[in-house]
């Protein structure tokens, strides 16, 4: 951007709020180009056989990625994810979860990533020319942008797939047994202490009552 979108004056670069920014040299206008990052929604589309990775017509031949798109006016990120899944792959979303938000300085974008479970027959739109369905067990993240979303999503799935080690179960059962054994051995002692305190209190009350009756 070289010219002010309001008064058409030439923009100049000046220090503004701890950064160099383009601002209008017309003092009556005072327009500042803050260069705010653009929100983009990326969608990890999972079908019954795996995750759909698509190839954009503008990308290098061997690069496949998750689908993505820009937010429209008055559209929520969730609605955008559902719309993009339908528009680009012709799939219907049945479940959606937020994965995270990621900066992408190369394109001055903020990526809002979602994971969706979808169904239907894949039909690519004009932006895509090929796709692959990769089993989740074979899915590997790539550097930057949407690759970080894939990495976080895979990491989130790991705890449910891990089994509790046998030795951890033995340690847990041993602690339960030790607690039970301690309680059972000391139960009689606790009962006797409580009984003694109760009898001692009863004797104090009786003693006070007897002394009061004698004094009257």
Q: Pairing state of beta strands 38-47 and 109-119?
A: parallel
Q: How many CB atoms neighbour CB 1 within 10 A? A: 8
How many whole angstroms separate alpha carbon 42 and alpha carbon 48? Answer: 20
The pLDDT value recorded for residue 93 is 96
Predicted pLDDT at 210: 45
Tell me which residue of 94, 66, 51, 96 sits closest to 78, measured CA to CA.
96
* 3-state SS, residue 142: coil
- Maximum distance among all alpha carbons in the chain? 110
pLDDT of residue 157: 83
SS3 83: helix
Contact 95, 86 (CB under 8 A): no
DSSP codes of every residue in 46-103? EETTEEEEEEETTS-TT--B-EEEEPPTT--HHHHHHHHHHHHH--EEEEEEEEEEEE
Going by C-alpha positions, the residue among 42, 54, 65, 46 that lies closest to residue 131 is 54
pLDDT along the chain (216 residues), means of 10: 91 87 90 92 96 94 93 94 96 96 92 96 95 95 91 82 51 55 57 60 52 48
pLDDT computed for residue 144 by the predictor: 81
What's the pLDDT score for residue 3? 93
**8 CB neighbour count, 10 Å cutoff:** 10
């Amino acid at each position: 951007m070289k010219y002010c979108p309001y008064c058409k004056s030439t923009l100049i670069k000046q220090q503004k709020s701890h950064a160099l920014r383009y601002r209008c040299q017309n003092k009556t206008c005072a327009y500042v180009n803050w260069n705010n990052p653009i929100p983009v929604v990326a969608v990890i589309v999972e079908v019954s056989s795996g995750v759909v990775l698509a190839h954009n017509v503008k990308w290098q031949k061997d690069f496949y990625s998750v689908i993505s798109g820009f937010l429209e006016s008055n559209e929520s990120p969730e609605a955008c994810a559902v719309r993009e899944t339908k528009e680009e792959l012709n799939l219907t979303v049945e479940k959606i979860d937020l994965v995270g938000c990621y900066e992408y300085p190369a394109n001055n974008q903020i990526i809002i990533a979602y994971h969706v479970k979808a169904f239907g027959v894949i039909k690519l739109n004009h932006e895509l020319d090929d796709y692959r369905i990769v089993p989740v067990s074979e899915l590997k993240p790539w550097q930057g942008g949407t690759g970080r979303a894939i990495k976080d999503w895979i990491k989130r799935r790991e705890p449910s797939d891990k089994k509790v080690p046998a030795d951890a179960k033995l340690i847990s059962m041993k602690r339960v047994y030790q607690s039970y054994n301690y309680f059972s051995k000391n139960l009689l002692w606790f009962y006797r202490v409580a009984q003694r305190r109760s009898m001692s209190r009863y004797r104090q009350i009786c003693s006070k009552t007897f002394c009061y009756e004698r004094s009257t």
